[in-house]
């Protein structure tokens, strides 16, 4: 369960790897570091966001630097609930207690069944994305070195 109580601008995809995402009304999602440093967002963002909110929206989110509000993220399917700040942790604990009432085996296997396709996509695409990110980071470093010397 991800309980988001403010901006998620670095590795915002981590929250989307959770089974349930709850956010406060003032929370938002954005990929700030990659565009700022001029590098490819190949460390998982390029897989997770398009998978969760759709290919077209995901590409727009990453290419445009879009700031996605909690309400928009809910509309796009990235957030399950938007709650007032004071209700965030109580709601997260309520959901956690509900889940602990289920059989651990059933819960584990249900989660496995729900995530198999997504895990495969991560396994297939993550190394390629990381390679692209590394190449772009090396290029940025080279450009910076050229400017200095």
Catalytic residue among 13, 25, 55, 75: 13
Tell me the backbone φ, ψ of residue 28, rounded to 5 degrees: -150, 165
124 annotated active-site: no
| Residue from 70, 64, 87, 56 nearest 27 by CA | 70
Axis crossing angle, helix 45-53 with helix 55-64, rounded to the nearest 10: 130
70, exposed or middle or buried, with CB in 10 Å at 0-12, 13-18, 19+? buried
Q: How far is CA 100 from CA 19, 29, 52, 80, in A?
A: 14, 29, 25, 19
Which residue numbers are catalytic? 13
């Amino acid at each position: 369960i991800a309980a988001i109580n403010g901006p998620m601008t670095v590795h915002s995809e981590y929250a989307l790897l959770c089974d349930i995402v709850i956010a406060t009304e003032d929370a938002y999602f954005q990929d700030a570091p990659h565009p700022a440093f001029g590098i490819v967002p190949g460390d998982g963002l390029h897989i997770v966001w398009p998978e969760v909110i759709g290919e077209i929206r995901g590409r727009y989110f990453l290419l445009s630097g879009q700031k996605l509000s909690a309400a928009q993220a809910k509309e796009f399917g990235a957030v399950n609930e938007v709650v007032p700040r004071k209700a965030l942790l109580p709601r997260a604990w309520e959901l956690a207690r509900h889940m602990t009432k289920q059989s651990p085996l059933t819960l584990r296997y249900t989660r496995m069944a729900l995530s198999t396709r997504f895990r495969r996509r991560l396994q297939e695409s993550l190394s390629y994305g990381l390679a692209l990110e590394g190449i772009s980071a090396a290029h940025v470093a080279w450009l910076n070195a050229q400017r200095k010397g």
